[in-house]
Amino acid sequence: MQQHRQLAQVSLAFLIASAVTLGMLILTIVLVGQSFRGMEQAKVTAATATARQLAISVDDRIQAITQPPSTALAVLRHDPLTEADTLEQRLDRLPVVADILASSEIVSAVYAGYENGDFFLFRKLQNSSARQFPDAPANSHYLLQSLVRTGNDHQGRWHFYDHNLNLLEQRDLASYNFDPRERPWYQAARESGALTLSAPYVFFTTQETGITLSQRASEKAGTVLGIDVTVTDLGAQLAELKQTPGSRIAILNASGQLLAGSSQDSEPGEVVLQALQPESHSGISQFTRDGRSWYGISEPLESLPGEELSIVVAIPSNELLADVWAALTRQTLIAGAIALLLLLAGWVLGRQVGKPLELLTGQVSRLSRFRFDTPMRSTSHIREASELSIALDDMAHTIRSFQSISTVLNRGQDLKQLLNDILEQLVSIVGQERGAVYLFNSREQKLELSVNRGLELPQAVNPVAPDASDYDVIQELRRYIAGHPVFAVLRNRRSKLIGVLVIEIENGDQTNLSDDLITFVDEIAGSAAVAIETRELIESQQALLDGIIRLVANAIDAKSPYTGGHCERVPKLAQMLVEQAEQSSEGAFASFGMTEDEHYEFHLAAWLHDCGKITSPEYVVDKAVKLETIYNRIHEIRTRFEVLHRDAEITCLKAILAGGDPDQARQDKADVQTRLQEDFRFLAAVNQGSESMEDADIERIHAIAGQTWTRHFSDRLGLSEEEQQALKGHPEPPLPATETLLADKPGHLRAWGEHVPPVRKDDPENRWGFDMSLPEYAYNQGELHNLTVRYGTLTEEERFKINEHIVQTICMLDALPLPDRLARVPRLAGTHHERTDGNGYPCRLTGDDMGVPEKIMAVADVFEALTASDRPYKRGKTLSESLTIMAGMVENGHLDGEVFRLFVSSGVWRDYAEQHLHSDQVDTVDESLFMKP
């Protein structure tokens, strides 16, 4: 008996010899790590010392660059050039200046600024600068830029010379007006009187990095001389000083601008800028760029004390620490061999105590096969094994309880039945009898009783805020529920309130509720919340799918063949611009971002932004000429002209038969027919609508319309019901009837009747906030009314019918049973015709009323419409034409300026053009013209 108790006290942890192995392994890892850190520090220290030597070498090089030009400047200040008053006198000193340019490859220009504002500059036209003067004569080697002032007048002149100073061409440039007295190099030299040196910068003309040396000639002369010196050869020297093949070296100024680098691409500048630490301009740092680890070292340069130059070195850590990693690999292999031996020894010891666990292993394997009804108890002399068997038995019992709940959660598709089953099972498990489930109505912000099992509860609890805490929700419910209830607040995956579970505690001690019981109810409530959310999502998504299917089915019958491409291209363009807005950190986009749900919401809105066009008549949307309805009514008018043409022929013949002058009769006929031909050609041209109408054109149309012809057939036969209703109340004139050549007749008008759209602000049915002007008639097909449209082909009524598509879009999408995460789809889809100045439609929103996504939709819609080449009534505009028009729309308050500038600067228009525009639409675009704030 005593022996049995002694065996039961044996500790499993004491018998596991592998603990020794673990301790040895940890010790080995620590030692190897310390060794690595020491070798790493040594390498970094050596790299730092090398960087300091590199800074000294670069200082010497900069001194060597600036010394020869300084000497040349000191000599030149005593040259007669400094006192020359005329251009001819200065040209005499041109050989001296040319010698200075030829004496050094790094001197790019020599110039003099005179006290009276004259300027004299002589530069070399080398390979880099030649790109800045593409119109220079062939064989040009030098360029002289001179400016001579006489009172308030100035004369700018350029001279091009060959290598031997032979004049090739002389150009007078009235626009060349450069005042050297206003330049920093002139003012600094005049004030100090000594040699002044500018900070290194990139020359505007040659795009070379360099510095400017300037010095006043003398007090008497008042002339300041200057020399531009390039330092681009520093990059080659830096490349030779790299410690490793992948090292990057660069020289930066105080503002972080790259002045010279060890490579010609942009990568060195970006790497070394990241190597700088914000808290220190000198020292060593470690950073990561593009998944690669680097060491950064920064040292100040002393050659130009006032300029705060630095040399920055970035070394890939894998190259710097290559030797260290090799040593670490050897040590790791040795440590691994030792650890393997210890693991083998630990395995032998572990087997001695593993046999008592085999029985538990078999029982656990039955658990893994979902045999939760198998007893888990087993006897063992090892204390931990015995306790483990008890814990496993309790776990199997708990799993059986959860399995029952899981069966309920996954049974059926009806939400009401699901809630009832959950409540029934849960009340039974906790040993109680009564309970209830409330669901949260987010639209009305209240809790509604969904399932009740024997409790006297209110049908609704309100108001309940959607962001209320669990404590606030429970306190609100306690106002209505008496007794001893346990509450579990149901929240979905996004922690949003979806409901509350209530269980009345009647059996047991209500004043001392078990913490385990409360925890269990909370856990079950969490599973129930997920199941509820899943059912709700399935139902809402199914409803949305059904709505979209209905939408597509209707579109098949009514869509225009010219809007399909638009509805496909706008979402792509809008999505491209949204991605750029999220990446931007400027202005309105600094805090802009979209969640996954918001991205899908925007995507869906972009695809459905013109779905209302399925209700727009095709002959209005695609109206190419003014008289077009379902067909082009110019043919009716042509027929009337044919009648008048034949009437003129008949009149001529009657006059001849009556004994009149045949020649005069034929001449009258010819005059009438010629006028008719001219009048018809004019009306046909007007019908095109390609040019704006002047007052004189409208007067001529009315004059032509006043001509009459005789109709002998009834115009009330063969009419549709709609046509008959339009003529109701207008009696038919007796035949034959005299009619004008063009007319606006009652039959051309179509009243709104019972189909007045709710677009007026005071309309009680207008719950969307529309604010649009409603024409008097739904349609006006009057011939004069259509032909006298001043711009384009659309009348006021047709323009409203097209604009109404956005109203239909909002109404149709608002009617869909969209879930909360897609609630903004109607607004996003229905605001792309709003303007930032409040003059858009359908709600006259201003820029402050719209967010970034709405403004992006407007820009995308306009650009696609301008560049589209599949419209029957216009050609697709080029890129430059489209961007120019959009820039004007920004100025007059149509489009948002920040979104348009992002559209231009990001190059989205260029990427879109490559995919969707014809080659003849892609022309050269100067982006700077459209970036003005």
pLDDT digit string, tens, across residues 391-425? 666 666 556 656 666 666 665 556 777 778 777 77
- pLDDT tens digits, 755-814: 888 888 888 888 888 888 889 888 888 888 888 888 888 888 888 888 888 888 888 888
pLDDT at 871: 63
Report angle CA 311, 317, 321 to the nearest 5 degrees: 115
d(CA 559, CA 562): 9
Instruction: Tell me which residue has tokens 């001819």.
Output: 88
Residue among 469, 509, 505, 503 at smallest CA distance from 488: 503
At 338, list the tokens. 């030792």
- With beta carbons less than 8 A apart as the criterion, state whether 415 and 535 touch: yes
Examine the pLDDT at 836 and tell me if it is beyond 80: yes
Q: How far is CA 210 from the centre of its chain?
A: 38
Strand order in the sheet with 485-491: 460-461, 446-453, 434-441, 497-504, 485-491
Burial of 241 from C-beta contacts in 10 A (0-12 / 13-18 / 19+): middle
Give the burial class of 95: count Cβ atoms within 10 A of its Cβ; 0-12 exposed, 13-18 middle, 19 or more buried: exposed
DSSP string, 840-854: -SSS--BGGGS-HHH
> pLDDT grade, residue 4 (50/70/90)?
very low
The highest-confidence range among 93-102, 194-203, 272-281, by mean pLDDT, is 93-102
Q: How confident is the model at residue 276 (pLDDT cuts 50, 70, 90)?
A: low
Segment among 109-113, 496-500, 643-647, 891-895 with least mean pLDDT:
496-500
- Do residues 715 and 733 touch, judged by C-beta distance below 8 A? no
> Which residue type occupies 928?
S
**Is 580:908 a contact under the CB 8 Å cutoff?**
yes
CB distance 813 to 717 below 8 Å:
no
Q: Give whole-number Cα distances, 692 to 687, 780, 790, 792, 828, in Å.
A: 11, 20, 5, 7, 34
- Residue 628 DSSP code: B
Torsions phi, psi of 226, nearest 5?
A: -140, 150
Place of tokens 């109709």: 711
- List alpha helices for 321-414, DSSP H: 322-354, 358-368, 383-409
Q: What is the dihedral of CA 655, 660, 666, 667, to 10 degrees?
A: -120
Q: What is the mean pLDDT of the chain?
A: 78
* Residues 6 or more apart whose Cβ sits within 8 Å of residue 166: none
pLDDT band at 192 (very low <50, low <70, confident <90, very high): confident
pLDDT digits (tens, 9 = 90+) for 342-391: 666 666 655 555 556 666 666 666 666 666 566 655 566 666 666 666 66
Distance CA 94, CA 111 (A): 11
Q: Which tens digits make up the pLDDT trace of 145-185? A: 898 888 778 888 889 999 888 888 898 887 888 788 888 88
DSSP class of residue 466? T
Q: Dihedral, CA atoms, 750, 752, 755, 759, nearest 10 degrees?
A: 130
Q: Other C-beta atoms within 10 Å of 398: how many?
A: 12
pLDDT-derived band of residue 646, with 50, 70 and 90 as boundaries? Answer: very high
Domains and their CATH numbers in the chain: 77-230 (3.30.450.20), 234-320 (3.30.450.20), 410-541 (3.30.450.40), 559-622+796-930 (1.10.3210.10), 634-769+771-787 (no CATH)
The residues pairing with 216 across neighbouring beta strands, listed in sequence order, are 224
Q: Is the separation of the CB atoms in 704 and 696 below 8 Å?
A: no
Q: Which letter does DSSP use for residue 837 in this model?
A: B
Q: CB of 158 within 8 A of CB of 176?
A: yes
Task: Return the exposure string of 11-34: e unless at least 16 CB atoms fall within 10 Å of the residue's CB, then b.
Answer: ebeeebbbeebeebbeebeeebee
Higher pLDDT, residue 452 or 240: 452
The model's confidence at residue 667, banded by pLDDT at 50, 70 and 90, is: very high
pLDDT at 279: 42
Each residue's pLDDT tens digit, 537-556: 776 775 765 567 456 534 63
The pLDDT of residue 99 is 85
Q: What is the pLDDT of residue 338?
A: 75
Query: Collapsing DSSP states into helix, strand and coil, what is residue 736?
Result: coil
User: What is the rounded distance in angstroms from the CA atom of residue 608 to the CA atom of residue 8?
Assistant: 74
pLDDT (mean) for 896-909: 91
Q: Are residues 833 and 806 in contact, defined by beta-carbon separation less than 8 angstroms?
A: yes
User: Which residues are within 8 A (CB) of 99 and not within 5 positions of it... i.e. 6 or more apart?
Assistant: none
Joined together, the tokens standing for residue 828 give 């996003």
Mapped onto helix, strand or coil, the DSSP state of residue 709 is strand
Residues linked to residue 123 through DSSP beta bridges, in sequence order = 109, 143
Distance from C-alpha of 896 to C-alpha of 910, rounded to nearest angstrom: 20
